[in-house]
A = this chain, B = another copy of it.
Amino acid sequence: MKTIVEPKQMQDLARKWRSEKKTVGFVPTMGALHKGHLELVRASRKENDATVVSIYVNPLQFGPREDYQQYPRTLEADLELLEKEKVRALFAPTNREMYPAGFSSRVEVSGSLVQGLCAPYRPGHFNGVATVVVKLLGAVQPTRLYLGQKDAQQAAVLKQVVRDLDLDVEPVICPIVREHDGLAMSSRNKRLTLAGRKVAPVLYKALKVGKSIVDLGQADAEKVLGEIKNVMAEERSVKLQYLEAVDAGTLAPVKEIKPGTMIAVAAYLDNVRLIDNIVI
C-alpha cells in the first residue's frame, strides 16, 4: 500500500489509473477504523480495480465546542488494517496540504437536507463535510464513493453535492455495521466509558422497539417516537438530542410512518455524541 500525503501526488496516481481504464473505489474516513469502515473497503474492492482510503480528521466539520481534539487517532492500527484489506493507496493529507494559508473557498449546502436531524445542532458541519469531500474527490478522482448509512444525513448531503456539482462519481451507500449487542459501529465508541459502553446499545434497542410497533400497524409518528423515547428513558445516562421520523430520501419530517421512513436519533452518553437510525 502506497501512502500519499500531497494532493498533487494523489492526482498523478489518479490520472495514471484513469489512463489505464482502471475503476477506482474511494472510502473517505477520519481514521480510528472499525469494521464499519472495513465493510466499505470490502464493498469497494469487490466493485473496483483499485481502492483508495483517505484518513483525515477534518477541522472544518467540527464546531468550536466539538471533539476535534478528542477525536480518536489510531494511525498505526489503521495502517495495519488497510494493509490486510489490500488497499492500494492511503491518502493521508495534513492540515497544511488541505487548508494552506489563503484558503478561501467552501462548498455550502442549503435546503431541506440540512434543516433537520444533526444540522441545527452542528452549524457548519455539513458545509465542512461537503467542502472536504469535494477536495478529496478532486485529489482521488474515483469512479465510486463509498459512504456508510450510519451517517445517513451526511450520505444524503454528499449525494446531493455530487449531483449538484456534476461530479463524475457514483455514490454507494453501505448498510450500518453493528456490534453483537446492536450498537452501531463508530470511531466515537472508543471514547465511551465502560459504563457508557454498556448502556449505549439502548439506542438501537429503542429504534427496534419503534420498528416493531410500526410492523404491528402503528403509523402515527408521534406515537411511535413516544414509545422509542420511553425505552431510552429507562437509561438515565442517555441524554437525547433529537429523535425524528423523516423521509429517507428528502430527510423531510413525516407524520405518518411508512416504507421509506427513517427514524433517526442522536444522544449524548458520557459527553460522547452517538447517532443511529433505522429505515422502515
* A105 pairs with B107, CB closer than 8 A: yes
A255 at the interface (CB under 8 A from B): no
In Å, the complex CA distance between A138 and B110 comes to 20
Chain B residue with the shortest CB-CB distance to A97: B166
* B111 pairs with A138, CB closer than 8 A: no
In Å, the complex CA distance between A141 and B139 comes to 13
In the assembled complex, how far is the CB of residue A226 from the closest CB belonging to chain B, in whole angstroms? 32
* B166 pairs with A139, CB closer than 8 A: yes
In Å, the complex CA distance between A109 and B102 comes to 11
In Å, the complex CA distance between A118 and B112 comes to 32
Q: In the complex, which range does the number of interface residues on chain A fall in?
A: 20 to 34
* B111 pairs with A108, CB closer than 8 A: no
- Taking a contact as CB atoms closer than 8 A, the residue among B19, B104, B111 that contacts A21 in the complex is B19
A15 at the interface (CB under 8 A from B): yes
User: What residues of B have a CB within 8 angstroms of the CB of A102 in the complex?
Assistant: 111, 160
A164 at the interface (CB under 8 A from B): yes
Interface core residue of A18, A109, A135 (most chain B CB under 10 Å): A18
User: What residues of B have a CB within 8 angstroms of the CB of A110 in the complex?
Assistant: 104, 106
* B107 pairs with A7, CB closer than 8 A: no
In Å, the complex CA distance between A168 and B104 comes to 18
A172 at the interface (CB under 8 A from B): no
In Å, the complex CA distance between A106 and B18 comes to 27
* B105 pairs with A160, CB closer than 8 A: yes
A130 at the interface (CB under 8 A from B): yes
Binary flags per residue of A35-65, CB closer than 8 Å to B gives 1, else 0 = 0000000000000000000000000000000
In the assembled complex, how far is the CB of residue A104 from the closest CB belonging to chain B, in whole angstroms? 4
Closest 10 CB pairs of A and B: A104-B111, A105-B164, A138-B166, A7-B166, A11-B168, A135-B166, A18-B18, A105-B161, A19-B21, A139-B166
